[in-house]
Amino acid sequence: MTIYLLLLGAPLVAGLIALLIDRDEIRPWFLPAACAIHSYAVVACWVRLPEPAVSGWFRIDAIALLVLTLASALFLVCSVYCLEYLRLRRGRDNRLFTACLAFILSAVSLVCVSRHMGLLWVGMEAATLAAAPLVHFNHNEKSIEATWKYLMMGSLGIGLALLGTFFLALAVLPYTGPGDPLMIDVLLARAGMLSVPWLKGAFIFLLVGYGTKMGLAPMHSWKPDTYGEAPGVAGAILAGVITSCAFLGVLRAFQICAAAGLADFARGLLVLMGLLSMAVAAAFIIGQRDFKRMLAYSSVEHMGILALGVGLGPAGSFAALLHLLNNGLTKGVLFLTAGNIHRAFGGKTMDHAHGALRRVPISATLFLLGFVAITGSPPFAPFISEFSILRSAVDGGRFGVAFGFVGLLAVIFIGMATTVLSVVYGTPNDQPQGPVQGDFPFMLMAPLALMSAVVFFGVWLPEGLTAVLGEAARLLNGVRP
Partner 1 sequence: MHELSQLLLTLIVFLSLYLLGSSSLTGCVNILALQGMCLGILPLAIHERGFHSRTFVLAAGMFVLKGFVIPRVLLYAIREVKIRREINPLVGYTSSLLLGALLIGVSFIIAERLPVPAGLRTGLLIPVSLATMMMGMLMMISRIKALTQVIGYLVFENGIYLFGLSIAYEIPWLIELGVLLDVFVAVFVMGIVINHIARAFDSISTEKLTSLSD
Q: Which amino acid is at 424?
A: V
Q: State the nearest-atom distance from the C-beta of 421 to partner 1, in Å.
A: 20
Binding window for partner 1 (CB under 8 A); candidates: 40-48, 132-140, 336-344, 439-447:
132-140
80, 30 Cβ separation under 8 angstroms: no
295, 416 Cβ separation under 8 angstroms: no
Least Cα distance to 238 among 141, 128, 144, 148 occurs for: 128
* Interatomic CA distance for residues 159 and 222, integer angstroms: 16
Q: Identify the residue among 9, 37, 40, 175 touching partner 1 (CB under 8 A).
A: 175
Residue 15 in the binding site for partner 1 (CB under 8 A): no
* Interatomic CA distance for residues 237 and 336, integer angstroms: 10
Residue 148 in the binding site for partner 1 (CB under 8 A): yes
Binding window for partner 1 (CB under 8 A); candidates: 116-124, 245-253, 386-394, 432-440:
116-124
Residues 406-435 contacting partner 1, CB under 8 A: none
Residue 125 in the binding site for partner 1 (CB under 8 A): yes
For the range 461-466, what are the long-range contacts, defined as Cβ-Cβ under 8 Å and sequence gap of 24 or more? 461/322, 461/384, 464/46
From residue 301 to residue 340, what is the string marking binding to partner 1 with x (rule CB under 8 A)?
Answer: ----------------------------------------
Q: State the nearest-atom distance from the C-beta of 404 to partner 1, in Å.
A: 22
327, 364 Cβ separation under 8 angstroms: no
Residue 54 in the binding site for partner 1 (CB under 8 A): no
Size of the site for partner 1 (CB under 8 A): 46
Query: Residue 413's CB: how many other CB atoms inside 10 A?
Result: 17
Residue 122 in the binding site for partner 1 (CB under 8 A): yes
327, 290 Cβ separation under 8 angstroms: no
Q: State the nearest-atom distance from the C-beta of 219 to partner 1, in Å.
A: 14
The helix/strand/coil state of 115 is: coil
**Minimum CB distance to partner 1 smaller for 61 or for 180:** 180
330, 454 Cβ separation under 8 angstroms: yes
Residue 116 in the binding site for partner 1 (CB under 8 A): yes
50, 3 Cβ separation under 8 angstroms: yes
Please name the residues in contact with 244: beta carbons below 8 A apart, sequence gap of 6 or more.
67, 70, 71, 324, 328
Residue 138 in the binding site for partner 1 (CB under 8 A): no
Q: Identify the residue among 111, 146, 234, 319 touching partner 1 (CB under 8 A).
A: 146
Buried b (16+ CB within 10 A) or exposed e, 314-331: bbbbbbbbbbbbbbbbbb
Q: Identify the residue among 53, 169, 189, 436 touching partner 1 (CB under 8 A).
A: 169
Q: State the nearest-atom distance from the C-beta of 57 to partner 1, in Å.
A: 9
Beta partners for residue 53, in sequence order:
58
Cα 128 from chain centroid? 12
Residue 40 in the binding site for partner 1 (CB under 8 A): no
Residues 253-292 contacting partner 1, CB under 8 A: 284, 288
Q: Identify the residue among 1, 26, 43, 152 touching partner 1 (CB under 8 A).
A: 152
Between the two ends of the chain, the Cα-to-Cα distance in Å is 21
Residue 252 in the binding site for partner 1 (CB under 8 A): no
**Minimum CB distance to partner 1 smaller for 228 or for 274:** 228
Least Cα distance to 159 among 219, 112, 106, 99 occurs for: 219
The helix/strand/coil state of 51 is: coil
**Minimum CB distance to partner 1 smaller for 284 or for 345:** 284
Binding window for partner 1 (CB under 8 A); candidates: 128-136, 266-274, 309-317, 412-420:
128-136
Q: Identify the residue among 181, 304, 382, 404 touching partner 1 (CB under 8 A).
A: 181
Q: State the nearest-atom distance from the C-beta of 425 to partner 1, in Å.
A: 24
* Interatomic CA distance for residues 274 and 217, integer angstroms: 8
Binding site for partner 1 (CB under 8 A): 116, 118-119, 121-122, 125-126, 129, 132, 136, 139-142, 144-149, 151-152, 155-156, 159, 162-163, 166, 169-170, 173-175, 180-182, 195, 197-198, 224-225, 228-229, 284, 288, 293
